[in-house]
Structure 1
Amino acid sequence: MKPAGYDLAAEQAVIGAALLAPALMGNLAGLLSSGDFGRPAHRVLWAAMCGMHAAGTPTDTITVAAHLADTGELGKVGGAPYLHTLIADVPTTANAAHYANIVADLGKRRQVADLGAQLARLATSGADTADVVATGRAMLEGASSLGEWPALVPLGRGRHLPPFPAEVLPGWLADQVLAVAEFTQTPIDLAGSLALACLSTAAGGRAEVEVRGSWREPTNLYTVVVLPPGSRKSAVFAAMVGPILSAEKAMIERTAPAIIEAELSAKVATKAAEKAALAAASADAAGRDTLIAEATAAAMNAEAITVPAKPRLVADDITSETAASLLAEQGGRLAVLSPEGGIFATIAGRYSGTPNLEVFLKGHAGDLMRVDRRSREAEHVDKPALTMGLAVQPEILRDIAGMPGFRGLGLLARILFALPENTVGRRKIGADPIPTQVAAAYHGGLHALVLSLAEWTDPTVIVLAPDANERVLEIERLVEPRLAPGGAWSHIVDWGSKYAGAVVRIAGLLHLAERPGIGWSGNIHANTIDRAALIGEYYAAHALAAFDDMGADIATRNGRLVLAWIERTATSAFTKREAFRAVQCAQIKTVADLDPALAVLEAHGYLRQLDPPAPKRAGGRPPSPSYLVHPEVHRPAATVHPLNARKAS
Structure 2
Amino acid sequence: MAETFDPWPEPSPLGDDLPPVLAFSPALLPRQLRGWAMDIAERMNCPADLVAIPAMVSAGALIGRKVGIRPQRRTDWLEVANIWGCVVAPPGSLKSPAAAEALGPIRRLEAKAAAANESAMADHKAREALFKLEKEAAEKSARAALKGEGGTGARDCALSMLLGVTEPTPPAIKRHLTSDGTAEKLGEICADNPDGIMVHRDELLSLFADLDRPEKASARGFYLTGWGGQDGYTFDRIMRGTIRIQAVNISLCGTTQPNRIAGYMRESLRSFDDGMVQRLQLLAWPDFGGTFREVDRYPDTEARQEAQECFADLAELDVRELGATWEEATGPHGVPFLRFAEDAQELFAEWRCALEQRLRSDEMQPAMTAHLSKYRGLIPRLALICHIANNDFGPVSLEATRQALGWAEYLESHARRAYASLSLDHAEAARAIWRRITKGDLPQPFTAREVQQKGWSGLTDAERLGAGLRALQVANRLRVVKVETGGRPSVTYHVNPKALRA
Aligned ranges 1:519-538 → 2 under 5 Å: 519=392, 521-538=393-410
Gap regions ≥5 residues in structure 2:
1-10, 322-332, 443-455, 461-465, 478-494
Question: Deviations 1:330-366 (Å, cap 9, x if unpaired)?
Answer: 234110023222322343349x665621221111112
Aligned to 2:79: 217
Paired with 2:295 and 2:320, the residues of 1 have a C-alpha distance of 43
Question: Deviations 1:140-163 (Å, cap 9, x if unpaired)?
Answer: xxxxxxxxxxxx9996851x2112
Residue 293 of structure 1, aligned match among 159, 180, 195: 159
Q: Report the CA distance shift for 1:433/1:394 in structure 2 as closer, same or farther (over 3 A).
A: farther
Paired with 1:371 and 1:362, the residues of 2 have a C-alpha distance of 13
**CA drift at 1:461:** 1.4
Aligned to 2:55: 195
Aligned to 1:445: 310
Aligned to 2:193: 330
SS at match of 1:162: coil
Residue 418 in structure 1 maps to residue 281 in structure 2: no
Residue 67 of structure 2, aligned match among 196, 207, 216: 207
Residue 100 of structure 2, aligned match among 228, 233, 238: 238
**CA drift at 1:523:** 0.7
Residue 382 in structure 1 maps to residue 258 in structure 2: no
The alignment's C-alpha RMSD in Å is 4.1
Q: Report the CA distance shift for 1:153/1:384 in structure 2 as closer, same or farther (over 3 A).
A: same
Q: Report the CA distance shift for 1:285/1:546 in structure 2 as closer, same or farther (over 3 A).
A: farther
Question: Deviations 1:602-630 (Å, cap 9, x if unpaired)?
Answer: 9xxxx9xxxxxxxxxxxxx99624999xx
Paired with 2:496 and 2:237, the residues of 1 have a C-alpha distance of 71
**CA drift at 1:383:** 3.0
Paired with 1:556 and 1:322, the residues of 2 have a C-alpha distance of 41
Aligned to 2:352: 476
Gap regions ≥5 residues in structure 1:
1-137, 139-151, 563-575, 608-620, 629-649
Letter in 2 for 1:420: P
Aligned to 2:427: 556
Paired with 1:201 and 1:406, the residues of 2 have a C-alpha distance of 30
Question: Deviations 1:104-125 (Å, cap 9, x if unpaired)?
Answer: xxxxxxxxxxxxxxxxxxxxxx
Question: Deviations 1:544-572 (Å, cap 9, x if unpaired)?
Answer: 222333x336533346889xxxxxxxxxx
Q: Report the CA distance shift for 1:578/1:384 in structure 2 as closer, same or farther (over 3 A).
A: closer
**CA drift at 1:401:** 4.4
Residue 248 in structure 1 maps to residue 110 in structure 2: yes
8 Å CA contact 2:173–2:189 kept in 1: the answer is no
**CA drift at 1:377:** 5.8
Paired with 1:430 and 1:325, the residues of 2 have a C-alpha distance of 44
Residue 226 in structure 1 maps to residue 98 in structure 2: no
Q: Report the CA distance shift for 1:577/1:439 in structure 2 as closer, same or farther (over 3 A).
A: closer
8 Å CA contact 2:18–2:417 kept in 1: the answer is yes
Paired with 2:242 and 2:192, the residues of 1 have a C-alpha distance of 12
SS at match of 1:339: strand
**CA drift at 1:474:** 1.4
Residue 348 in structure 1 maps to residue 219 in structure 2: no
Paired with 2:137 and 2:429, the residues of 1 have a C-alpha distance of 74
- TM-score, normalised to structure 2, is 0.75
Q: Report the CA distance shift for 1:193/1:186 in structure 2 as closer, same or farther (over 3 A).
A: same
8 Å CA contact 2:70–2:79 kept in 1: the answer is yes
Q: Report the CA distance shift for 1:558/1:255 in structure 2 as closer, same or farther (over 3 A).
A: closer
SS at match of 2:316: helix
Higher relative contact order (CA 8 A, sep 6+): 2
8 Å CA contact 1:349–1:355 kept in 2: the answer is no
SS at match of 1:528: helix
Percent identity over the alignment is: 20
Q: Report the CA distance shift for 1:593/1:548 in structure 2 as closer, same or farther (over 3 A).
A: closer
Paired with 1:320 and 1:578, the residues of 2 have a C-alpha distance of 41
Letter in 2 for 1:533: L
Q: Report the CA distance shift for 1:601/1:244 in structure 2 as closer, same or farther (over 3 A).
A: farther
Letter in 1 for 2:368: I
**CA drift at 1:530:** 1.5
- TM-score, normalised to structure 1, is 0.59
**CA drift at 1:394:** 3.0
8 Å CA contact 1:482–1:490 kept in 2: the answer is no
**CA drift at 1:321:** 1.7
Q: Report the CA distance shift for 1:580/1:165 in structure 2 as closer, same or farther (over 3 A).
A: farther
Paired with 1:405 and 1:241, the residues of 2 have a C-alpha distance of 33
**CA drift at 1:220:** 0.5
Residue 181 in structure 1 maps to residue 65 in structure 2: no
**CA drift at 1:381:** 2.8
Aligned to 2:449: none
Aligned ranges 1:498-517 → 2 under 5 Å: 498-515=374-391
Q: Report the CA distance shift for 1:198/1:505 in structure 2 as closer, same or farther (over 3 A).
A: same
Residue 310 in structure 1 maps to residue 176 in structure 2: no
Question: Deviations 1:58-117 (Å, cap 9, x if unpaired)?
Answer: xxxxxxxxxxxxxxxxxxxxxxxxxxxxxxxxxxxxxxxxxxxxxxxxxxxxxxxxxxxx
**CA drift at 1:314:** 0.4
8 Å CA contact 1:276–1:294 kept in 2: the answer is no
Residue 402 of structure 1, aligned match among 267, 273, 277: 267
Aligned ranges 1:259-274 → 2 under 5 Å: 260-274=122-136
**CA drift at 1:600:** 6.2
Residue 368 in structure 1 maps to residue 229 in structure 2: no
**CA drift at 1:507:** 0.5
Paired with 1:441 and 1:582, the residues of 2 have a C-alpha distance of 54
Letter in 2 for 1:317: D
Residue 339 of structure 1, aligned match among 177, 188, 202: 202
8 Å CA contact 2:259–2:425 kept in 1: the answer is no
Aligned ranges 1:22-61 → 2 under 5 Å: none
Paired with 1:266 and 1:177, the residues of 2 have a C-alpha distance of 46
8 Å CA contact 1:555–1:597 kept in 2: the answer is yes
Paired with 2:402 and 2:202, the residues of 1 have a C-alpha distance of 30
Q: Report the CA distance shift for 1:596/1:428 in structure 2 as closer, same or farther (over 3 A).
A: farther
8 Å CA contact 1:182–1:431 kept in 2: the answer is no
Q: Report the CA distance shift for 1:471/1:598 in structure 2 as closer, same or farther (over 3 A).
A: farther
**CA drift at 1:172:** 3.2
Letter in 2 for 1:468: A
**CA drift at 1:258:** 5.4
Aligned to 1:164: 24
Q: Report the CA distance shift for 1:254/1:588 in structure 2 as closer, same or farther (over 3 A).
A: closer
Q: Report the CA distance shift for 1:527/1:429 in structure 2 as closer, same or farther (over 3 A).
A: closer
Q: Report the CA distance shift for 1:449/1:395 in structure 2 as closer, same or farther (over 3 A).
A: same
Q: Report the CA distance shift for 1:529/1:307 in structure 2 as closer, same or farther (over 3 A).
A: same
Question: Deviations 1:259-288 (Å, cap 9, x if unpaired)?
Answer: 554443344234323432344356427345
8 Å CA contact 1:314–1:334 kept in 2: the answer is yes
Q: Report the CA distance shift for 1:234/1:578 in structure 2 as closer, same or farther (over 3 A).
A: closer
SS at match of 2:409: helix
Q: Report the CA distance shift for 1:583/1:507 in structure 2 as closer, same or farther (over 3 A).
A: farther
SS at match of 1:186: coil
Letter in 2 for 1:344: F
Letter in 1 for 2:134: A
Q: Report the CA distance shift for 1:171/1:316 in structure 2 as closer, same or farther (over 3 A).
A: same
Aligned to 1:35: none
SS at match of 2:164: helix
Paired with 1:509 and 1:322, the residues of 2 have a C-alpha distance of 28
Paired with 1:262 and 1:577, the residues of 2 have a C-alpha distance of 62
**CA drift at 1:194:** 1.0
